[in-house]
Structures are given as structure tokens and as C-alpha cells.
């Protein structure tokens, strides 16, 4: 795995070499991504390709903290998810220590996906329901100091006040908690996009993407895993 990660670092600024890496960042930022454990490319058919996490140490790691250093800006974090079981698992984690505030994480547990952010005033969270073994589209959007969670195009609840200054962040871990393997996600992800400064979606209902995600203004991270399509959701 160290050899693979070394090649990824070397290929970062070479478009041809980057095309050989299935987990390469397709945004204009061309972030370096490190494989932790053995996450694998998962071909779902019909042009849909994702990443599978089936070992506790599996994760995609982006050490460039500017990816999720949102401050108080608008942002969008979206992805397709297919949990393999109901066990608790961290899907995204921007924390660098458990006691640090002004960061966020997204977690899955027993049918519920949660966006959680905190500061000295306590935690703020939004929850939504998804189904084990089925693909779902998830989007967390903050706009003008309010955050909302969409599941398969429908807002799970009214927007909540969220003016957290998300600057005290560490490396972005996708698939596990930043500091141990005890709270790892077991399942698959596809079509991951992180956008800073732009709330892509608004309203109580949105249109779920039906083709491979593209870089829009403010895109900090774009992972299609060589897919030409995205999962179909119900």
C-alpha cells in the first residue's frame, strides 16, 4: 500500500498518470489521496463504480486540511452510500482530536445517517433515514448560517441554525474515524463531492444527480472512481 500511495503522490500533477489511479481526485485542486488499509474499487455495473470499505482500517485520507476548512462559508458535501450492515460507522471525519471544536463528522448507525458539528456551545446535528443494502444519495448543505440534510432528494427536516466556524479541522478521513479503527464504516460509497463557498442545493426537494458528478465552482474534492454513472436511488 505504501508503494501505491507513493505513486499517487508522484502522479498528482500529471494528468495521464492520475488517470491510472482509480481513486484520484477529479477536481481542479487534484488533492493527494492516501489509502489507509485496503479499500477497493467496486464495479456496480452500468457505469457505476464506487469504493468498498470492508476492513476496520479502510479509509481514504486527504491530509490537505483546506478541503474541509469551511470557516463560516456555505458548503455542500454529497455522496452516494450503500451500508452493508447496521453497525455504527464514521463516513466522513474532519476532527483532529476528540476535544477540539469547530469541525464536523458524518456517521451512520442502525438506519440513520447524521451530520454532527460542534463548538463550545455544544453539538448540532441533523438526522435522516437510509436503508441497509440499498444505494441512497446524501447531501449536507449549509447556506447563510443554516444547514439542511437531503436524503434521496428530500429534506429530512427543516434547516437548523449552523454558524459554526469550521476551521479547527484535521485530515479528512472517509470511511473511518480519524484516530482509531473502532468506528469504521462497512459498505460502499460513490460519487463524492465537497464544495466550499457554494450551497448547490436549496429548498425542501432537490433533483438527485443521475450522471457522474462534475466539478462546479468551489469544488474541493471530486471522487468518481472512474465511473460514468451514479447509482440509481428510489
Q: Taking residues 32-40, report their average pLDDT.
A: 97
* Predicted confidence (pLDDT) at residue 99 exceeds the cutoff of 80: no
Q: Taking residues 170-193, report their average pLDDT.
A: 96
- Confidence band of 20 (pLDDT split at 50, 70, 90): confident
DSSP the chain: -HHHHHHHHHHTT-HHHHHT-TT---STT----EEES--EEEEEETTEEEEEE-STT-EEEE--GGGS--BTS-EEEEEEEEESSSS-EEEEE--SSTT--SEEEEEEETTEEEEEEEETTEEEEEEEE--TTS-EEEEEEEETTEEEEEETTEESS--EE----B----PEEESS-SS-STTB--EEEEEEEEEES-----SSB-PPP-S-----TTEEEEE-TT-SB-----
- Confidence band of 189 (pLDDT split at 50, 70, 90): very high
- The tens digit of pLDDT for each residue in 73-85 reads 999 999 999 999 9
pLDDT confidence of residue 102: 86
Top-level CATH class of 2-223?
A: mainly beta
d(CA 211, CA 230): 5
Prediction pTM value: 0.91
* Predicted confidence (pLDDT) at residue 16 exceeds the cutoff of 50: no
* Predicted confidence (pLDDT) at residue 7 exceeds the cutoff of 60: no
Amino acid at each position: 500500500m505504501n508503494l501505491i500511495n507513493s505513486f499517487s503522490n508522484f502522479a498528482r500533477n500529471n494528468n495521464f498518470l492520475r488517470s491510472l489511479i482509480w481513486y484520484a481526485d477529479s477536481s481542479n485542486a487534484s488533492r493527494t489521496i492516501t489509502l489507509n488499509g485496503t479499500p477497493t474499487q467496486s464495479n456496480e455495473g452500468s457505469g457505476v463504480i464506487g469504493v468498498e470499505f470492508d476492513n476496520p482500517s479502510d479509509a481514504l485520507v486527504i491530509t490537505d486540511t483546506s478541503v474541509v476548512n469551511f470557516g463560516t462559508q456555505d458548503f455542500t458535501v454529497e455522496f452516494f452510500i450503500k451500508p452493508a450492515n447496521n453497525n455504527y460507522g464514521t463516513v466522513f471525519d474532519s476532527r483532529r482530536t476528540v476535544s477540539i471544536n469547530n469541525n464536523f463528522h458524518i456517521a451512520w448507525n442502525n438506519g440513520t445517517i447524521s451530520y454532527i458539528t460542534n463548538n463550545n456551545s455544544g453539538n448540532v446535528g441533523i438526522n435522516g433515514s437510509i436503508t441497509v443494502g440499498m444505494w441512497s444519495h446524501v447531501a449536507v448543505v449549509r447556506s447563510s448560517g443554516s444547514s439542511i440534510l437531503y436524503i434521496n432528494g428530500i429534506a429530512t427536516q427543516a434547516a437548523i441554525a449552523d454558524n459554526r466556524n469550521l476551521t479547527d479541522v484535521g485530515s479528512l478521513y472517509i470511511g473511518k474515524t480519524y484516530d482509531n479503527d473502532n468506528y469504521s464504516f462497512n459498505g460502499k460509497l460513490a460519487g463524492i463531492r465537497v464544495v466550499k463557498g457554494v450551497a448547490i442545493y436549496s429548498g425542501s426537494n432537490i433533483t438527485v444527480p443521475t450522471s457522474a458528478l462534475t466539478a462546479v465552482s468551489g469544488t474541493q474534492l471530486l471522487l468518481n472512481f472512474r465511473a460514468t454513472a451514479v447509482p440509481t436511488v428510489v
